[in-house]
Amino acid sequence: MPASPPPIPLNSLVLYKNRPALVGQVGKKLEIALDNGDTASVRPKDVTLLHPGPLLTSLSRLPARPDVGDEVLAAWELLAGETTSLAELAELIYGDFTPAAAWAVWELVQDGLYFQGTPDDIQACTAAAVAETKAARAAKEAEKAAWEAFVQRAAAAESHPANERYLQDVVDLALERRDQSRVLRDLGQAETRENAHALLLRLGYWDETVNPYPQRFQLELASADALLPSLPAETRLDLTHLPAFAIDDAGSADPDDALSLDGDRLWVHVAAAAALVTPDSPADREAQARAANLYLPEGTIAMLPPAATSQLGLGLNEVSPALSFGLDFDAAAQIAHVEIAPSWVRVTRHTYAEIEERLAEEPFAGIWQLTRRFYQQRQQAGAIEIDLPEVKIRVEGGRVVVTPLPPLRSRDLVREAMLMAGVAVARFGQERGIPLPYSVQEAPNESEPLPGIAGMFALRRSMKRSQRQSAPAPHAGLGLNAYVQVTSPLRRYLDLVAHQQLRAHLRGEPVLDMAALMARVGAAESVSGSVRQVERLSNRHWTLVYFRQNPDWEGEGFVLEKNGARSTLLIPELAWEEQVYLRHDLPLNARVRLTVTDVNLPELTAHFREISA
C-alpha cells in the first residue's frame, strides 16, 4: 500500500488552489488563513505541504515572485535535466530552507521556465526547453503588444496594413458567419453586424462598394456553372415566318420571351430552357438551390449557366428554339384555345421605349387591343393595381445610376401577354391533369381606401404574399381564377419546372407526380424569399451610396403615413421610403422638399432635412 502523506503541522505553510495558506488549526479538517485575508475549512488532502513551519509571521511577508538572479541560474545550470526537491532547491539557491525560501522556490516552479514539477519532485528543465519557452513567451508578448497597438488604432479609426490580420472576426460578424467579435468586445462595442460593418468602413478595410447582403443570406456570388448538353434533335414547329419581338428594358441580357401576332392568334414565345435542363440534371439541381436569378445593381448572378442564355435567349441568335403558346380568342375576347409547341422563331430585340413609339403600328396595335381587353377583364374580376414608382439601379464604373421606370403602355402590353400565357397554361394543365406550380394569392383584408400615393402605399401593405401550390386557386391580386408563371424559365426555377412538365407531356413522357413537384416548390420557395430580400436590401445599399456620391442632392417627397412625430415619406425619383421628422404636421400626400444630411450604410438609413420650396 502507498505510504500515507505526513500529517499537516500547525502553523505550517501549505499550498491551496495555487496560493499560499497558513494552517491555524488541525484535525479532521484544517482551518487555514489565505493570503487575501479570508479563512477556509478544508480537508488535509485539499492542500499541499510546502514547509512544516512554524510560520509565525503574516502571509503578507512572503516574498513576491523572485527575480531570476545569479543563484537561480547557477542552480538551474547545476541541476539541468535532473530532479530535486523543494527543500534541496531552496537550500541550493538561498542557503536555507525557510518558509520564505520555500515559497520563493515554489514561485519559480509555478513560473515553469527553469523548474517544473511538485514539491517532492522538481525537474530542472533542459537548456533546449528553456530556450523554447523563452521564445514562446517572447512571441506571446510581441503578439500582446501588437494586439494592443491594433486596438489603439481601431479606437482611433486609423487604417494600417497590420490591421488586416485582426479583422477577420469582424468581417465574419459583419457577414453573419459568427455572432461574436473579440475586436468589438475589446473596443467596448456591442457585437452586432452593424457595428462590425461600421468599423470595417472606418478602418478602410471595406469601402462603400462592399455589398454584404448576398453573403449574409448565404447566396452564391457567382453564376451557375454546370455543363449543359447540346440542343436535342427534335421536331419543332417552324414559326420563323412570323416577326417576333422580344421587348425588355434597355441593357437586359437574358431575353426569355417574345410576342408574335398571326391573324387573330397571339403567340407568346418562351425560351426552351427545359430542352437543355432536364429534371434532376446537374443544372436543374443547381437552379433549384438558387431558385432564381439574383439581380443586383453591381451585376446579375444567374441560376443557370451562361451557356443557357447564349443558346436559348430569344434574339441572341438568328433563329432561336422556343416553347410557343398560341392563344385563340372567342367573340367575348376570352381565351378559347391554346396550342403549345416546341418551335423555331426569328426574334428581334426592342426596348419598351422603342415599342411605345410604335403602338399605332401593326402588329403592336393588334397585340395592344388583345392585351387591353384582357386587362379590362381582370379589372372586372377584382384585380388590384398598385401604382407606385419604380426605378432601376445599376453600378457603372463605380458610380451609381438610378433610372426611373416610366409607366409605359408597352410595359402593360408585355405584362398582360405574359399573364395571358400563364392563364392558358393553367387551363391546359387542368384539362390534362398535369401537376403544375400554380401561383395563388388571397384577397387583402378590406379597409377604407385612401386617396393618392398614400393610398397606394397602404394598399401595398395590405396585400398578402403570393404562394405556389399544386392545386389551382384564385390569384386575387391579378384577378385570375388560375395562373401558372411560365414565361421566365431562364430566370425563375419554378417557371423552368412548369416547362419541364409541359415538355414531358408533349413528348409523351412521364411527368413529375404531385409529391415530386411540391418538393421542388418547397426547395425553391425556401430560397426565393432570401433572393427577393437580398435584392431589396442591395438596392437600398446602393441608393445610399448614390446619396454619398451626390451629397448636395435635393428632391421631392410625399407623405405616405404619419407615425407620431415622424412621417413615412416616399421620394419617387429614387423609389426610396424613409421615416423623417417634419417641422410641420402635414397631411397625407403632401409634397415636401428634402435634402439629405447623413447616410448610415451599416444601418441602411438616411437622414433628411426639410427645406423651403
- Asked whether residue 137 carries a pLDDT value surpassing 70, the answer given is yes
Confidence at residue 311, expressed as pLDDT on a 0 to 100 scale? 95
Q: Would you call 431 helix, strand, or coil by DSSP?
A: helix
CATH of domain 551-610: 2.40.50.140
Do 269 and 347 contact (CB within 8 A), yes or no? Answer: yes
- Asked whether residue 66 carries a pLDDT value surpassing 80, the answer given is no
- Asked whether residue 56 carries a pLDDT value surpassing 70, the answer given is no
Q: Which residues pair with 299 in a beta bridge?
A: 296
Indicate the pLDDT class of residue 361, thresholds 50, 70 and 90: very high
Do 290 and 275 contact (CB within 8 A), yes or no? Answer: no
CB under 8 Å, gap of 24 or more: what pairs does 532-536 form?
533/213, 533/217, 534/213, 534/214, 534/216, 534/217, 534/219, 534/294, 534/296, 535/294, 535/295, 535/296
Q: Where are the domains of the chain?
A: 13-128, 138-206, 237-540, 551-610
Confidence at residue 68, expressed as pLDDT on a 0 to 100 scale? 67
Indicate the pLDDT class of residue 253, thresholds 50, 70 and 90: confident
> Lowest-confidence range among 52-66, 249-263, 302-316?
52-66
> Lowest-confidence range among 65-69, 214-218, 299-303, 520-524?
65-69
- Asked whether residue 62 carries a pLDDT value surpassing 90, the answer given is no
Do 206 and 293 contact (CB within 8 A), yes or no? Answer: no
Q: For 367-423, how does the pLDDT look when each residue is reduced to its tens digit (9 = 90+)?
A: 999 999 999 999 999 999 999 999 999 999 999 999 999 999 999 999 999 999 999
Give me the mean pLDDT over the 459-463 stretch.
Answer: 93
Q: Distance between CA 120 and CA 110 in Å, rounded?
A: 14
Provide, rounded to the nearest whole percent, the portion of the chain with pLDDT above 70: 98
> Torsion-angle region of residue 280: left (phi > 0), alpha (psi -120 to 50) or beta?
left
- Asked whether residue 1 carries a pLDDT value surpassing 60, the answer given is no
Reading the block at residue 296, the C-alpha cell is 443586383
Q: For 540-585, how does the pLDDT look when each residue is reduced to its tens digit (9 = 90+)?
A: 999 999 999 999 999 999 999 998 889 999 999 999 999 999 988 8
- Asked whether residue 2 carries a pLDDT value surpassing 70, the answer given is no
CATH of domain 138-206: 1.10.10.10
Reading the block at residue 547, the C-alpha cell is 446619396
Q: Which string of DSSP letters, residue by residue, matches 180-241?
A: --HHHHHTT----HHHHHHHHHHTTSS-TT---HHHHTT--SS------PPPPP---EEEEE
- Average pLDDT in the chain: 94
DSSP H helix total and E strand total for the chain? 16, 24
- Asked whether residue 3 carries a pLDDT value surpassing 70, the answer given is no
CB-neighbour burial class of residue 183 (10 A; exposed 0-12, middle 13-18, buried 19+): buried
Q: Distance between CA 320 and CA 347 in Å, rounded?
A: 7
Strands (E), 406-553: 438-440, 467-469
- Asked whether residue 177 carries a pLDDT value surpassing 80, the answer given is yes
- Asked whether residue 510 carries a pLDDT value surpassing 80, the answer given is yes
- Asked whether residue 5 carries a pLDDT value surpassing 70, the answer given is no
- Asked whether residue 236 carries a pLDDT value surpassing 70, the answer given is yes
Q: Would you call 579 helix, strand, or coil by DSSP?
A: strand
Give me the mean pLDDT over the 17-46 stretch.
Answer: 92
Confidence at residue 565, expressed as pLDDT on a 0 to 100 scale? 82
Give me the mean pLDDT over the 168-191 stretch.
Answer: 96
Give me the mean pLDDT over the 112-129 stretch.
Answer: 93
Indicate the pLDDT class of residue 497, thresholds 50, 70 and 90: very high
Percent composition of the chain: helix, strand, coil (DSSP 3-state, to 5): 35, 25, 40
**335-351 and 237-248: which strand pairing?**
parallel
CA diameter of the chain: 120
Q: Which helix (H) or strand (E) holds 117?
A: strand 115-118
- Asked whether residue 57 carries a pLDDT value surpassing 70, the answer given is no
Burial 247-271 (b: 16+ CB within 10 A, else e): bbeeeeebbbbbbbbeeeebbbbbb
Give me the mean pLDDT over the 26-40 stretch.
Answer: 91
CB-neighbour burial class of residue 151 (10 A; exposed 0-12, middle 13-18, buried 19+): middle
Reading the block at residue 302, the C-alpha cell is 444567374
Q: Would you call 474 helix, strand, or coil by DSSP?
A: coil
- Asked whether residue 64 carries a pLDDT value surpassing 70, the answer given is no
> Lowest-confidence range among 59-73, 158-172, 513-527, 549-563?
59-73
Give me the mean pLDDT over the 478-503 stretch.
Answer: 97
Indicate the pLDDT class of residue 502, thresholds 50, 70 and 90: very high
Q: For 423-459, how does the pLDDT look when each residue is reduced to its tens digit (9 = 90+)?
A: 999 999 999 999 999 999 999 988 788 899 999 999 9
Nearest to 494 by CA among 469, 515, 458: 469
Residue entry with cell 460578424: 173
Do 580 and 557 contact (CB within 8 A), yes or no? Answer: yes
Residue entry with cell 414565345: 269
Residue entry with cell 430566370: 491
